[in-house]
């Protein structure tokens, strides 16, 4: 159950263009399962065999939803990044973030941590000790956003976006609650400050309701299902939990929740995201995303030499080996 809720009848409503050029889904990708960090499972629709990149996005990891028992919660110990941004959105549960530039805090119940790695940073994301001891519900998403060549070596930055910071909107039919995390939709700006032009939304769509909105023609458009089931586009293409729809050109987007939802899903929960493609070469290996192989080699050398930052002294006990960090 998402932490950010509101009465949609009291919120500003999204408008639908008078003569929209509706985007249609041309591909549906089913997320594959992987293990990350200390061994927690994620579902990843991209990158993969069906969708290498979704420029300017590099990776989408869906964590949970899972109910941890005592001692089961796991995280991602200290590791480096360079050349992109990581966006961690916690729907339920909590992660404790710490980094080498002094950023950090508890990301919990609708909050977002936006970390610009830029020239280089070390960080970790771990479940708080209370969750480790007692267990509990854990559900979140991590998105990697690429940086253009001119900003690959920008100064690292940390943004702590509280759940109450999200801009709340209603769909035109009043049946969907839309949380704007970053970017803009229909003239409403979210709190996240982005280097690459993007829009990032989380919508809860009531059974049978439609979510329709204008969408920038120069952005790509992706819809990922967190839970429940619905349909995308005029041909009502089925879209279920763990699936990502990739839409073609146009200036408006429409999806609809199925009238009947699976057991345990009160509504259709979806992420809607898009951005202006960077259209530059991508060289990536492990925690680094640059433009050339030579820049990747340099990133490894800089990490090994300690030039990507130092773990704060009070956290040295959590240091992992270089191999674990990669």
Q: What was the pLDDT predicted at 1?
A: 58
What's the CA gap between 288 and 229, in Å, rounded?
A: 35
Kindly report, residue by residue over 82-106, the tens digit of the pLDDT.
999 999 999 999 988 888 988 888 8
What's the CA gap between 230 and 209, in Å, rounded?
A: 10
Look up tokens 């925690």; give the residue: 287
pTM: 0.92
Look up tokens 């820049």; give the residue: 295
Work out the average pLDDT over 272-281: 97
Q: Which residue has better confidence, 120 or 49? A: 120
Are the CB atoms for 301 and 308 separated by under 8 Å? no
Q: CA nearest 188: which of 213, 210, 163?
A: 213
Kindly report, residue by residue over 146-173, the tens digit of the pLDDT.
999 999 999 999 999 999 999 999 999 9
Q: CA nearest 30: which of 222, 224, 204?
A: 224
Kindly report, residue by residue over 191-235, the tens digit of the pLDDT.
999 999 999 999 999 999 999 999 999 999 999 999 999 999 999
Q: Look over the chain and give the mean of its residue pLDDT values, rounded to a whole number.
A: 91
- The per-residue b/e assignment along 118-133, b for 16 or more CB within 10 angstroms, e otherwise, is bbbbbbbbbbbeebbe
């Amino acid at each position: 159950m998402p932490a950010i809720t509101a009465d949609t009848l009291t919120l500003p409503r999204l408008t639908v263009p008078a003569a929209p050029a509706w985007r249609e889904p041309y591909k549906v990708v089913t997320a594959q399962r992987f293990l990350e960090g200390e061994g927690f499972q994620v579902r990843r629709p991209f990158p993969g065999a069906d969708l290498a990149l979704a420029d300017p996005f590099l990776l989408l990891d869906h964590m949970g939803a899972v109910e941890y028992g005592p001692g089961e919660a796991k995280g991602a110990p200290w590791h480096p990044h360079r050349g992109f941004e990581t966006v961690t959105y916690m729907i339920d549960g909590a992660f404790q973030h710490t980094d080498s530039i002094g950023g950090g805090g508890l990301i919990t119940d609708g909050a977002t941590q936006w970390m610009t790695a830029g020239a280089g940073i070390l960080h970790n994301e771990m479940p708080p000790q209370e969750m480790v001891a007692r267990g509990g519900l854990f559900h979140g998403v991590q998105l990697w956003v690429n940086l253009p060549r001119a900003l690959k070596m920008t100064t690292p930055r940390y943004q702590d976006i509280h759940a109450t910071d999200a801009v709340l909107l209603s769909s035109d039919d009043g049946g969907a609650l839309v949380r704007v995390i970053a970017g803009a939709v229909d003239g409403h700006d979210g709190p996240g400050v982005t280097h690459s032009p993007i829009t990032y939304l989380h919508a809860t769509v009531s059974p049978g309701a439609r979510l329709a909105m204008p969408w920038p023609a120069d952005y790509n458009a992706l819809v990922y299902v967190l839970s429940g089931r619905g349909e995308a586009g005029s041909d009502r293409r089925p879209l279920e939990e763990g699936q990502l729809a990739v839409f073609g050109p146009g200036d408006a987007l429409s999806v609809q929740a199925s009238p009947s939802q699976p057991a345990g899903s009160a509504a259709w929960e979806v992420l809607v995201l898009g951005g202006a493609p960077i259209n530059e070469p991508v060289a990536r290996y492990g925690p680094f995303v640059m433009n050339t192989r030579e820049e990747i080699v340099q990133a490894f050398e800089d990490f090994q030499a300690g030039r990507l930052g130092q773990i704060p002294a009070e956290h040295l006990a959590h240091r992992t080996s270089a191999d674990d960090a990669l």
